[in-house]
Structure 1
Amino acid sequence: MFTKLLAKASELAHRGRKPAAAPVTPDISRVIKPAAQPVASQSHLAPDTDVADFEATVAQAPEFSVEDAPEIETAADTAILAEKAEEAVDAMNDSFDAWMRDDMAKLRAAWAEASADASNAEAFRELYTCAHNIRGAAASYGYPAVSRLCGSLCTLLGNTRPGEDSALINMHVEACRAAVAAGPQGEGSQSVADQLCDALETRVAVKVAATG
């Protein structure tokens, strides 16, 4: 079952990545100049106010004109801002993908070193550290399945001595590789990834139960 699921995940990866980035619509607030306060009538003036001076001051006050009102952004301006926001989101997604691939390369390198020398406890600790780091960051990068897989791998490594369960560890690493290669795609890809996670988590649970 696991082999079929892993093959399906790899097949989805080869079909090309289809990241789904939701368009971001900026909140454009309309800016309206506050209404001018009404001029006090002579009946509201203090008794000692000189009416002539008051009227002269009012006469010198600048008149409000529609031309003085701030320019309200048009629909075209809003479209430009929305396009720029979408470009920024796409650029951020590209960065997430690059970071995820870099983390995945470190995980595979750590596993290659650990599997080459089963007695190298330090190599297995490095493998655990890589899996732990990916588990914490992958969901934020848009790879929830990879986060689950690395969480399962951490559980496995925490209950395994160096040199044990190599096949099951390798299954986790290869499943992570396939999930990263497929990228954050649609429901079909996520469904296969979920089935991979379920299968591996079940195997790890059996292993932990047997160890305990």
Structure 2
Amino acid sequence: MRPWSSGIFGSAPLSNSAQVIRPPNTLRMKVGGAFGGIDANAIAKAEEALKAMSAQFGQWLQDEIVKLDKAQSDIRAQGYNAQTAEALYFRAHDLKGLGTTYQYPLVTRLAGSLCKMMDDPAKRMAAPMVLIDAHIDAIKAVVRDQIQTDDHPTGKVLAETLEAKVAQHYA
């Protein structure tokens, strides 16, 4: 005899049938239907807007380089401390995200290598200044010389060498 049919929950026997209740999926209605319902016209408009802004990418990238240069100058003037290191990390992180958008995937790669040394605030303070400076100088050089990708022999060597030095530092 099943314990729940023995009268513990009342004297009436329980039914052996079950009913599954499925609540309506209101989330799908809130986000605009099933996945794959992306509006191709919206994507085309976004691509057009990005193309129209691309003439400004060079100036915007230069603005980011100025910020990176200031972070490096602040380190030289104030020393490498938690505050100046964090400011440099934010500049590198911004360049990591913006490089490819601004048609400089090599900047994204170099800034990514710099971020790898600085992502963790505890490890950030142990990053060798000479290696930090090498990354900054490389980023400034590839923008100055308009080396956009690592298909360029100099860009490839810069990226591979810096990434190898970062790997050695953490080995």
TM-score normalised by L of structure 1: 0.51
* Residue in 2 that maps onto 1:165: 128
Q: CA deviation at 1:114?
A: 1.8
Is 1:208 the counterpart of 2:170? The answer is yes
Q: How does 1:131-170 map to 2 (within 5 A)?
A: 131-158=92-119, 160-162=123-125, 164-170=127-133
* Residue in 1 that maps onto 2:154: 192
Range 96-105 or range 114-123, more displaced: 114-123
Count of aligned positions: 121
Q: CA deviation at 1:174?
A: 0.4
Range 145-154 or range 176-185, more displaced: 176-185
Q: Which amino acid aligns with 1:197?
A: A
Which of residues 54, 62, 82 in structure 2 aligns to 1:101?
62
User: Contact (CA 8 Å) 1:118, 1:162: kept in 2 or not?
Assistant: no
Structure 1 runs of 4+ aligned residues shifted over 3 Å read: 88-93, 158-164, 184-188
1:126–1:198 Cα change, 3 Å:
same
TM-score normalised by L of structure 2: 0.62
1:95–1:198 Cα change, 3 Å:
same
1:119–1:94 Cα change, 3 Å:
same
Other structure's SS at 1:169 match: helix
Q: How does 1:17-32 map to 2 (within 5 A)?
A: none
How much identity, in percent, do the aligned residues show?
Answer: 34
C-alpha separation between the residues in 1 aligned to 2:94 and 2:50?
Answer: 24
Q: Per-residue CA shift, 1:72-118, capped at 9, x if unaligned? A: xxxxxxxxxxxxxxxx9986333000110000110111111123333
1:120–1:187 Cα change, 3 Å:
closer
Q: How does 1:171-182 map to 2 (within 5 A)?
A: 171-182=134-145
Which of residues 77, 81, 84 in structure 2 aligns to 1:116?
77
Q: Per-residue CA shift, 1:49-82, capped at 9, x if unaligned? A: xxxxxxxxxxxxxxxxxxxxxxxxxxxxxxxxxx
Other structure's SS at 1:97 match: helix
Q: Which amino acid aligns with 1:196?
A: L
C-alpha separation between the residues in 2 aligned to 1:157 and 1:111?
Answer: 14
Task: Give the alignment's Cα RMSD to 1 decimal.
Answer: 2.5
User: Contact (CA 8 Å) 2:75, 2:84: kept in 1 or not?
Assistant: yes
